[in-house]
Structure 1
Amino acid sequence: MDGPGWRWVFLLNVPLALLCAPIAVRHVPESAGVKAEGRFDVLGAALGAIALALVTYALIEAESGTLLVGVSAIAGLAAAVAFVVVEKRRPHPMMPPDIFASRQFSAVNVVTLCVYAAFGGFFFLAALQLQVVVGWSALAAGTALLPTTALMLLLSARSGELGDRIGPRIPLTVGPLLCAAGMLLMLRVGPDASYATDVLPALVVLGFGMVTLVAPLTATVLASVETERAGLASGINNAAARAAGLVAVAALPLLAGMGPEAYRVPDAFDDAFRRAMVLCAGVLVVGSALAFTTVRRPAPDCRRPECRTHGSVAVPPLEAGRQRGSEAR
């Protein structure tokens, strides 16, 4: 273990929150949809959180085979079903079911589940592979993964512009395939791996895949619904991405046969890591196929300014583009 322990990293959020909160209150403009009404959906939020927590716990502890694991899994699935039922019946649900009437919105969210499940599993296990098998420190392993972030920061805006010109279908098809290729290249990373010849090429290919994919994915989500529902659409898509990553981190070690002792035995971890990378690549290929068969260019009336220029991974613009006259109609 390097330093005081990985749990301490979460304290980083505290000073950042203390700094950002007063800035947001003072400078971020308030906004609300013209149709906004009702109260916060406490029951829906609670059921969603409980379902995700119980299913994740069951996946993490599945190898123990205890009665508690089985009960948690069943209760989590029951909570998920209850969440769907409640959201259909409430007058002002947190996740209105009718938003999924958009075929494009539903398709892109399924692609999101595939893509971010693979990303979550990859970044979790790749950092451990570099430590357990290659023998690097936690700091070196984390730093080694930075090229993907650098490529995203430098090129995502241009990727969004390209997606606007050619439509989302090609980026959402090619991007996951590039990411899958990058993850398969990680199979070369073993006990004697070199950063320059083994690790970096895989991360560069993965990074270009993420650049190709992420900005058009976000723009397509925003373009598939009405302007006043852009925040809701982005929130659902972001929740799908975070949930997919969380479940993947819990489930992938189980699916790859990575037992509790594998983290202490380099050979065992290396074997499980290789199986996990193949699984992640397979999920990305499924996402690519779904995008190719279901995603189409947004309709002309959806080509709003935020759809063309916004490249954030997680959130929509603060304000929808103001339109007048025939454009607004």
Structure 2
Amino acid sequence: MTAPSSRLIVAIAALASAVAFLDGTVVNVALPAMSDELGGGLATQQWTVDAYLLTLSSLILFAGSVSDAYGRVLVLKIGLIGFGVASIAVGLAPDPVTLIIARALQGAAGAFLVPSSLALITSLLQGTAQSKAIGQWTAWTTGATLAGPLIGGVFVDTLSWRYAFLVNVIPIAATFVLLARMKGTDRRSPDARIDILSAALCTLGLGGIVFALIEQPNLGWTHEAIWMPLLAGTVLFVAFVLRQRTAAHPILPLGIFTVRNFWTGNVSTLFVYAALTLNGFVVGVYLQQGAGLSATLAGLASLPATLLLISLSSLAGTLSAKLGPRLFMTSGPLIMAAGSLLLLTVGEDFDYWTQVLPGLVVFGLGLALTVSPLTSTILGAIGGERSGIASATNNAVARIAGLVVIAVLAVIVGGTLDLDGFHRAAVATAALLAIGGVVAYAGIRNPRPASQPEEATNKPG
């Protein structure tokens, strides 16, 4: 059978992931309209977001291991069906309880989409073709994340928030059509098994930790509903890690953390994605509440960064494969840090064109230089056979980083997201990005020309 083209592989991977990334941010601008129609107040708004994050973060490592064991295409189909059904349930939700349950199901399905789609690229493509494909995947999926507020704002302002979720069936249906051309490409382990105990320890452990991070801003660290799940989750996750040392079929092969570019890249990811989450949240909220822009205009404000990302990510991925990722993973975050500091020009007399646009353009340039080389380096450090869990691990790190930074948001902004709080957040974002760049400079090593990806059995770098 003819091997699928790189265009087909990227199209499937990007479409499958984009719906999950898009829904993660589109909901932010839709929350007021959802609350007005369904009721439930602030608690409903919080759990509409948090239910998605909780199941997504808790299940993502398990989903990555299932992808490696049973095949990317099969797991993608399961995730797509689940996400489509859950999206329809969200769009038709008659009350807050149904809405929150449907969002939790969306997050669970999303956990199966993201690692499997990216692993499809890393398992079927190699070398420069792989780096270019990851660049294209990065551009479209990160672009979907950044475009979420704009899309959500347009639906809220012109139609209804419900359409922002019901429209998911279109890219899902298109992905299924494309998947029909991928017959015979799935690679399944002949002795595939999932350690159920490890899966339970991982999911419950991450779930307890994530729940505590989500609810901590509301209840405080000393509340029993926070420290007890946090403690229990930590104990369970430690037990999960210990079990991976002896399990015949580990969900998380600990050997992958002996690969220098893998663990260093994930440390850099921790800081870079914490900064991206902080910047996206603060800019989106301040432009509406502080500067008085509508939901649609606030979404449009991020368009320059999105366009730069889509335009340059593929090129950055290709150049990174030729020149080595260290330059890009160092300079990209530092350029983003400079863009964030330019937002300190925002003043009481607000002007988007002179105070916000320059910073977002510089930020978008740095983002385009960073994300594709970062992703390619982390996944390229691990063989294609384990690309599902490598992708899942990196996604888990990124999600946890975002949750942590939002959990301490009040501390960062000084209690209120006024102009002073906005400036504090810009400085904090720049600091996180600078640390991410320094980590990459100190830890990342450019692969030798024509060398094969490092395997998890290599000695520590």
Which residue number corresponds to residue 186 of structure 1?
343
| 2:179 pairs with 1:38 | no
- Which of 282, 286, 311 pairs up with 2:431? 282
2:205–2:235 contact (8 Å) kept in structure 1: no
- Which of 50, 59, 65 pairs up with 2:216? 59
CA offset at residue 216 of structure 1?
A: 0.8
Which residue number corresponds to residue 47 of structure 1?
204
Q: Match of 1:99, as an amino acid?
A: I
Q: Match of 1:218, as an amino acid?
A: T
Which residue number corresponds to residue 135 of structure 1?
292
1:129–1:273 contact (8 Å) kept in structure 2: yes
CA offset at residue 38 of structure 1?
A: 1.5
- Identity value in percent: 35
Which residue number corresponds to residue 163 of structure 1?
320
| 2:168 pairs with 1:11 | no
Which residue number corresponds to residue 227 of structure 2?
70
1:179–1:281 contact (8 Å) kept in structure 2: yes
2:206–2:237 contact (8 Å) kept in structure 1: no
| 2:251 pairs with 1:94 | yes
Which residue number corresponds to residue 244 of structure 1?
401
CA offset at residue 173 of structure 1?
A: 0.6
CA offset at residue 92 of structure 1?
A: 1.6
- Which of 442, 446, 454 pairs up with 1:293? 442
CA offset at residue 180 of structure 1?
A: 0.9
CA offset at residue 240 of structure 1?
A: 1.7
Cα distance change of structure 1 residues 99 and 271 upon mapping to structure 2, 3 Å threshold: same
| 2:126 pairs with 1:126 | no
Cα distance change of structure 1 residues 71 and 160 upon mapping to structure 2, 3 Å threshold: same
Which residue number corresponds to residue 200 of structure 1?
357
Q: Match of 2:210, as an amino acid?
A: A
Q: What are the ranges of 5 or more consecutive residues in structure 1 without an aligned counterpart?
A: 263-267, 308-329
Normalised to the residue count of structure 2, the TM-score between the two structures is: 0.58
Cα distance change of structure 1 residues 303 and 147 upon mapping to structure 2, 3 Å threshold: farther
Cα distance change of structure 1 residues 225 and 130 upon mapping to structure 2, 3 Å threshold: same
| C-alpha distance in 1 between matches for 2:214 and 2:267 | 23
Aligned length: 297
| C-alpha distance in 2 between matches for 1:61 and 1:2 | 19
2:378–2:390 contact (8 Å) kept in structure 1: yes
CA offset at residue 14 of structure 1?
A: 4.5
2:201–2:237 contact (8 Å) kept in structure 1: no
CA offset at residue 297 of structure 1?
A: 0.6
What pairs with 1:187-266 in structure 2 (closer than 5 Å)?
187-258=344-415, 262=416
Please, which moves more after superposition, 214-223 or 15-24? 15-24
1:220–1:298 contact (8 Å) kept in structure 2: no
Q: What are the ranges of 5 or more consecutive residues in structure 2 without an aligned counterpart?
A: 1-30, 36-44, 49-160, 455-461
| C-alpha distance in 1 between matches for 2:376 and 2:275 | 21
